[in-house]
Every structure is written in structure tokens, then in C-alpha cells.
Amino acid sequence: ARALTPQTAETDAIRFLVGTQSLRYDNQIHIIDFDDENNIINKNVLLHQVGEIWHISTSPADKGVLATCYNKTSDTKVMTCAAVWRMPKELESGSHESPDDSSSNTQTLELLCHLDNTAHGNMACVMWEPMGDGKKIISLADNNILMWDLQESSAKAVLSSSTALEGKGQLKFTSGRWSPHHNCTQIATANDTTVRGWDTRSMRQIYCIENAHGQLVRDLDFNPNKQYYLASCGDDCKVKFWDTRNVTEPVKTLEEHSHWVWNVRYNHSHDQLILTGSSDSRVILSNMVSISSEPFGHMVDDDELSDQEDQHQEEKIKEPLQDSVIATYEEHEDSVYAVEWSSADPWLFASLSYDGRLVINRVPRALKYHILL
């Protein structure tokens, strides 16, 4: 299994969606609920019969809406398609009442619309507009960036604009992220060793980090608090942090993994916490204080911050932490292909490995209090 996402629109319950990959059986989407107080995991299964799931993402506005990229396999051809789905109503907010018989009553996803990619090639991923109302999505198909408008309560997807990356050779996007900054007008994509930034209004390239990694770039993430900061990871085992205003040199480089890094994620509220997953079967949680927004907390308007954060920033100045690896999680036995922070609890994260094992971990308590107090 490779596809993992938090339920973005859910802010109360800790819930992750996992898509399975199987060529010979019906694929499923598992809705994993984690009860933090009782330490109980609930699971609901939705059937996803069209094919194995390579990528999954949820709408930031509607808890019940999600998008998947899946492989449609015929005898001689494999095609990756994308579609927007709605899950049954009763599952939207979890199903605490029936943990036992979850395996018996499997339900089916309701297809909202299909993102037509016949002309564009294989879908690599689908991104929702981060702060939007769930009407805009962008998908990456081979060398095309496609922007869709969802209309009629997501029942219809209209291609609003698109652009293609031209160049010699067979260019293929591997992944992309939509920046939450700049009024959601920027996305970043990765193809081969290059990271590119795009403006969604003009669909033009705005920056390009050539040779960002020695080998293939696997994933990207935007710093949620610092608008120009971007993290990338790739096959050279490195995680690099970039300032998109100066793309010649990375701001910082981490070399902790011993194989390809597949995933990098900023914590949504404490951007010094960086989560990375790698095919060396490890998940590493790093504390990158030096390039986070925290040391410069006083430059942010105090009004925008909660009391809690305000307090914590003052503490921060008193005792700065060093950049360091906080913890290495070695529960997985196979390559970890996805890591995600929970959208509800900033101290919780899940990781998913090839063999289908999902591990939910917490940020160490000591560090949590250190950051908070």
C-alpha cells in the first residue's frame, strides 16, 4: 500500500485514509480512526473497485469527498486515472459505535466525477486547493499540469486550464504540492531531479531548481508558516530545504536516511517538526529549529497567534534548541512510502509501508512540552 492521507477537513477526530494496492483483488480504502484517549484504532473499509490506488487526497472543505489516482489495468496496458469520490454519509464522521463488525459491512464509494485524462497521460497525483472550498483541484499527468473546476456539487469536473512541460526526453512529473501561501496561487512540482514552481493563474513557471537532488526527486512540501520555504526529498537519501527566492543553494540538507526518501512533511502548526519516510524502512522525525518560523516569532503579529503559541515563542528565545533528529522509528519492516501528520492533532502522525503496515506515532512528550511551554 502506498496511498495515505489525513482527512483534511476533519479537525476533531484523528482520522487517516489508506488506499490499498492489489492487482488481483478488489482494492479498498480504509478509514482509520484513532481514539487518542483510549488508544483504540477503528477501521472502516470502503470498496474501490476500479483499480489499485497510487495516490489519495481529501477535500479540505468536505469531509466526505476524496480523490484517488488509480491504475486501470487491461491485458496489455496500464493506465493511471483519477476520480473524485464521496464516501457514505455515516462514515464521514467516523463510526465509533461499531468497531467489531467493521469487516462485515463493506460499503462502496460513490463516484462523483471522473477526471478525464485520455489526452494527457498517466495521473501522478491530485492536489486540492489548500484553503479553498473544495472546488479546485490540480492533477499532474505525465508532463501536464491540469487544473479542474468541480461544478454542480462536484458532480462535474471541467478542465479550466492546463499547461505542459516541454523539453527533450520523456518528462514526467513525479509529485507536486500546492502552496498554502500567496492566496493559493502557487504549486511546486517535481520531475526527475528538478523542482519547479508554477503560478496557477498564468500557468507559467516561476522558478526552477535544477538538479535539486543528485537523483530523482520523490516528494515536496511547503512550509506552512514561511511562504518561501520548501522541503524536498529524493533518491540521493537527502532531504533539502530551499528558499525559493534563491534556488542555487539549499538552505539546509539532512542526510539521515540510508536509502531513498519517499516522503517529507512539515508539521502543520510547528514547522520545525519534519517527518520523513524512506525505503530503508525508517521514519525519522527531525527538529529543524534553525530554519523554522519559530526563532523569528516576534516578527509575526502577536494578534494572529494563540496565547499558547505566544507564550511558547518567548520561551523559545530563552533556550533555543539545536537542529537534531528527534526520533527514528523502526517499526516498519519494509519500505515506508508515505508519512502524514494528523490534521486534528499536531502531535500525531501516521506512516505506511509497502507491506501494508500503518503505524501511528506521537511526538515525544518531552519535546512536545518543550515546544509548548
Q: Is 236 a binder of other proteins (CB under 8 A)?
A: yes
| Sign of the torsion angle spanned by Cα atoms 180, 182, 185, 188 | negative
E strand or H helix at 366 = helix 365-372
The mark string for 72-91 relative to other proteins (x by CB under 8 A, - otherwise) is -x-xxxx-------------
Q: How far is the CB of 290 from other proteins (least distance, A)?
A: 20
Residues 334-363 that bind other proteins (CB under 8 A): 334-335, 354-358
Mask 153-192, x = binds other proteins (CB under 8 A)? Answer: ----------------------------------------
Cβ neighbors of 174 (< 8 A, separation 6 or more) are: 124, 190, 191, 192, 216, 217, 218
Name every residue whose Cβ is closer than 8 Å to that of residue 231 and which is 6 or more positions away in sequence. 220, 221, 222, 223, 239, 240, 241, 242, 264, 266, 274
- Distance in Å, CB of 232 to other proteins, minimum: 13
Q: x/- string (CB under 8 A) for other proteins, residues 95-134?
A: --------x--x----------------------------
Helix (H), strand (E), coil (C) string for 269-303: CCCCEEEEEECCCCEEEEECHHHCCHHHHHHCCHH
20 scored as a contact of other proteins (CB under 8 A): yes
Q: Which single residue is written with the C-alpha cell 515563542?
A: 313
Assess 39 for contact with other proteins (CB under 8 A): no
Q: Does 71 bind other proteins (CB under 8 A)?
A: yes
Grid cell at residue 323: 537542529
- In the bound state with other proteins, the residue whose beta carbon lies nearer, of 110 and 330, is 330
Q: Is the CB of residue 307 less than 8 Å from the CB of residue 372?
A: no
Instruction: Figure out which of the listed residues 25, 118, 322, 373 binds other proteins, where binding follows CB under 8 A.
Output: 25
Contact indicator for 125, 175 with CB cutoff of 8 Å: yes
Asked if residues 202 and 162 have their Cβ atoms less than 8 Å apart, the reply is no
**Residues lying near other proteins in the complex (CB under 8 A):** 1, 20, 22-26, 28, 45, 71, 73, 75-78, 103, 106, 210-211, 213-216, 236-237, 248-249, 257-260, 279-281, 330, 333-335, 354-358
